[in-house]
Amino acid sequence: MLDIRSLPTRAWSLLKAPHRLALATLVPRAFAFCHTFGLTVWIALVEGSGWKLIGPGLLLLFWPAVAYLHAARAQNSKHAEFKNLLFDSLLFGIWCSVLDFYVLATLAIGLACFMNNMVVGGPRRMAASMALFAGGALGWSALTGFGFRPYVSTGLDIYQGAGAVIYFLAIAQVMYGQNRKIGRSIVEIKFQNRVFHALLQLGVVANRASNIHTLLDDSLEHLRADFPEYGFAVFLQERQRPEVTRYAAVAGLQLGPEDERRLGSLLATLHERQENTIKLRETTIGEQLYATPMAGRLSIYDGWLIVRAPKLDGALERMLTLFADQLAAATENKLLHLELKKTAERDGLTGIYNRGFFESALQLSIQAKAQPPGLDFAVLMMDVDGLKKVNDQYGHVAGDQLITAVAERLKMQCREDDVLARYGGDEFVILFPSADLSAPNRVAALIRAHLEGQRCIITPTHGESVEVELRLSMGTASSTEVPAQEVLTLADNRMYDDKTQRRKARALG
């Protein structure tokens, strides 16, 4: 059943916003046809032809609306408007014949038709407009007879001349407006291309960065390269302690350490729940800054993207939102990647490197030895004496506590470049890249002095805490002694030799 209430909605749904060309020509076309109708009425009154001329002239008032509806309902409104402009030429050609080719009107109207089609379609469309104008004029004259009206009155000439001037100025204004729109569109497209390029670069940077500091620094440098007129900064703050800035990066902003501290404190007072870009009133910075939150995009941090810009508009705010989203996603992914990498490389009990990571690092050292300049490396193997006894007497939980205590003390004796790993159940190993035998011998001496014989408190699952004496068997080796592939085996053999000698010494003692 037909729903009467839906008819207006259905009728309006047939219309849509036409092409900008149809919108631009609506007012000039309406003026031109209304002005021509006024010209017709004037001539009819002067010559006494009355409604014989005015009646048909009423059709001139309807055509602008018909042309607009034609463009609005067409599938291709731009193509429809091109047809409307050609039909303008045909109608005006016919009407110039109706007015017996009143000279001033014919020249002005014909020139307007030719110019309109020339502007939108070039010489070929102008030629088509001239052909239609001439065809309409000559065809109507052939049907009704040819007449010529060179002059009616001075007042009518003034009216026609003023109308022509107004019309051409209106067309000029339309062309100016269209050029401005095109110019703005070009600027917007260029800006969007810069944003798109910057987003792609941020993705590349995120993949290459080895840590969060590098990620943020390199990302802002790329943003600065694509948008040199702006300055950028990023602050990541701990969610539980917003006054603590965990990571910060700056590019293109004149921020000293004190300015960074003050800005970080200011951001800590804001609520991360805000989703819109806000204006910062930080007077010590001396620049107008805007902050876009990374709300809800980071799991353990609250983040802010800061930009220095002369003013905040819609395009800039959308750009900052995109960049904030990209940086937040890249940061979250990098944090997850680092955490997974740490889990894969670390021993679950002690937190130091595991055997897999050590063997990878050892292979790199072996390759470095094989290639010029042939960098040497060294290894220190260690075994915790008495672990089996602790496990048997107090349980494996107590044994794990012993292993953890040894690992903590070994970390204190290692340098930053040394690779300390848990190699097996009670075995530890330290790799010394770019070192000779003196490096493991030095660390072994430190372990003998500061760790050997110390008392370690462990707590069995059931029972009171007990003290266990720490004892380690050790063996060292270097690529200066044997081929690189045999260094680990030599250190392992020497460790077991040391363990055997220590057992003999304890037995004799």
Chain segment 133-164, per-residue pLDDT in tens: 999 999 999 998 888 888 888 999 999 999 99
State the angle between helix axes of 314-345 and 355-370 in degrees (0 to 180), rounded to the nearest 10: 90
Of the candidate ranges 5-19, 202-216, 375-389, the one whose mean pLDDT is the lowest? 5-19
DSSP assignment of 449-476: HHTTT-EEEE--SSS--EEEE--EEEEE
Phi, psi for 508 (deg, rounded to 5)? -70, -30
Say if CB 435 and CB 444 are below 8 A apart.
no
pLDDT of 206 reads 82
- How does residue 338 score in pLDDT terms, banded at 50, 70 and 90? confident
Question: Is the pLDDT higher at 228 or at 273?
Answer: 228
pLDDT of 30 reads 92
Mean local confidence (pLDDT), 18-26: 83
Say if CB 373 and CB 428 are below 8 A apart.
no
pLDDT at 396 over 70: yes
Mean local confidence (pLDDT), 424-434: 92
- How does residue 451 score in pLDDT terms, banded at 50, 70 and 90? confident
State percent of the chain over pLDDT 70: 94
Question: Is the pLDDT higher at 6 or at 84?
Answer: 84
Dist CA 196 CA 322 (whole Å): 10
pLDDT at 7 over 70: no
pLDDT of 2 reads 39
Say if CB 91 and CB 116 are below 8 A apart.
no
Chain segment 277-314, per-residue pLDDT in tens: 888 765 445 568 888 888 667 888 888 888 988 887 88
| Cβ-based neighbours of 454, under 8 Å, separated by 6 or more | 409, 469, 470
User: Domains plus CATH for the chain?
Assistant: 16-180 (no CATH), 209-344 (3.30.450.40), 355-508 (3.30.70.270)
pLDDT at 406 over 80: yes
Chain segment 86-134, per-residue pLDDT in tens: 999 999 999 999 999 999 999 999 999 999 999 888 999 999 999 999 9
Residues recorded for the chain:
509
- Cβ atoms within 10 A of the Cβ of 217, count? 19
pLDDT of 294 reads 82
Q: Which amino acid is at 190?
A: K
pLDDT at 57 over 70: yes
pLDDT of 295 reads 66
pLDDT at 10 over 70: no
- How does residue 66 score in pLDDT terms, banded at 50, 70 and 90? very high
pLDDT at 68 over 80: yes
Q: What is the 3-state secondary structure (H, E, C) of 19-41?
A: CHHHHHHHHHHHHHHHHHHHHHH
- How does residue 13 score in pLDDT terms, banded at 50, 70 and 90? very low
pLDDT at 270 over 80: no
pLDDT of 16 reads 63
Mean local confidence (pLDDT), 364-379: 90
Strands (E), 73-128: none
Of the candidate ranges 258-272, 360-374, 434-448, the one whose mean pLDDT is the lowest? 258-272
pLDDT of 283 reads 42
With residue 209 as reference, give the H or E element that holds it: none
Mean pLDDT of the chain: 86
State the angle between helix axes of 103-144 and 77-98 in degrees (0 to 180), rounded to the nearest 10: 80
Q: For residue 379, how many C-alpha atoms fall within 13 Å in the half-sphere facing its CB?
A: 32
Q: Which amino acid is at 115?
A: M
- How does residue 11 score in pLDDT terms, banded at 50, 70 and 90? very low
Dist CA 278 CA 289 (whole Å): 9
Residue 298: name the closest of 344, 320, 323, 330 by CA: 330
Most confident of the ranges 166-180, 331-345, 433-447, 458-472: 433-447
Helices (H) and strands (E) in the chain, counts: 15, 11
pLDDT of 275 reads 66
- How does residue 5 score in pLDDT terms, banded at 50, 70 and 90? very low
Burial of 48 (0-12, 13-18, 19+ CB in 10 A): exposed
Mean local confidence (pLDDT), 171-183: 85
Q: Which amino acid is at 203?
A: G
Dist CA 323 CA 226 (whole Å): 12
Secondary structure letter of residue 252 according to DSSP: S
pLDDT of 15 reads 52
Dist CA 330 CA 247 (whole Å): 14
| Cβ-based neighbours of 101, under 8 Å, separated by 6 or more | 137, 147, 148, 149
pLDDT of 152 reads 85
**Residue 433: cis peptide before it, omega within 30 degrees of 0:** no
| Cβ-based neighbours of 416, under 8 Å, separated by 6 or more | none
pLDDT of 497 reads 94
Dist CA 79 CA 119 (whole Å): 15
Residue 487: name the closest of 391, 363, 374, 336 by CA: 363
Q: For residue 332, how many C-alpha atoms fall within 13 Å in the half-sphere facing its CB?
A: 16
